[in-house]
Chains A and B, each alone.
Chain A
Amino acid sequence: KNEVEQSPQNLTAQEGEFITINCSYSVGISALHWLQQHPGGGIVSLFMLSSGKKKHGRLIATINIQEKHSSLHITASHPRDSAVYICAVSQVTSGSRLTFGEGTQLTVNP
């Protein structure tokens, strides 16, 4: 079983829709990261969370430590949001290395 599980694997939305991507983890963490991977392969860090909620523009990330679950929400989605969204965790037992989920491929159609 993967330590970090994401759902859905693939998500197709129409422009303007509200999008939710979920991440569950099975290990003790010091932080959870949401990352965006562009079609060319580059990775951009979106959020790092250890509790509560963070917002940046149209992106919102939440984490529930008790339930070992995080969500990434995109409001008013746009075709330029199309990318792979990756959840990764810093485990309590393994220093600063990141353990990655499989990613969610998001496609937003105009």
Chain B
Amino acid sequence: EPEVTQTPSHQVTQMGQEVILRCVPISNHLYFYWYRQILGQKVEFLVSFYNNEISEKSEIFDDQFSVERPDGSNFTLKIRSTKLEDSAMYFCASSEAPRVGQYFGPGTRLLVL
């Protein structure tokens, strides 16, 4: 069964460093998403992406964040200068169309020290 994959599974970084989280969505999907879950809290939407541009973003997704689809398979989330409060599990998801079921990746656990 096709699945969304994410790398790395865990990342530890120093405050102020840049991190890039990578996702490979399901191959025929066209809509891509990033969500995050701070430990002990609910999952929160960050950004959705379609047709090589951001279609929607939350108030969390400020200028420190960016997304890119650099080739036909990868979908990346970059955090330019990490803060302690960016420590969370980051989930990538993809879907064939809007407003249909989204398939989630296993997540990247980011720890900022």
Contacts and interface: CB of A to CB of B under 8 A. Distances in A.
A14 B58 CA distance: 40
A76 interface: no
A96 B48 contact: yes
> By DSSP majority rule, is chain B's interface helix, strand, loop, or mixed?
strand
Contacts of A99: 45
Name the residue among A33, A41, A48 with the largest chain B CB count within 10 angstroms.
A41
B95 interface: yes
Interface string B72-110: 000000000000000001010001001111111011010
A27 interface: no
28 contacts: A35-B104, A41-B89, A41-B107, A41-B109, A42-B107, A43-B91, A44-B104, A45-B101, A45-B102, A45-B104, A48-B100, A48-B101, A88-B43, A95-B48, A95-B55, A96-B31, A96-B56, A96-B98, A97-B33, A97-B48, A97-B58, A98-B33, A98-B35, A98-B102, A99-B45, A100-B44, A101-B42, A103-B42
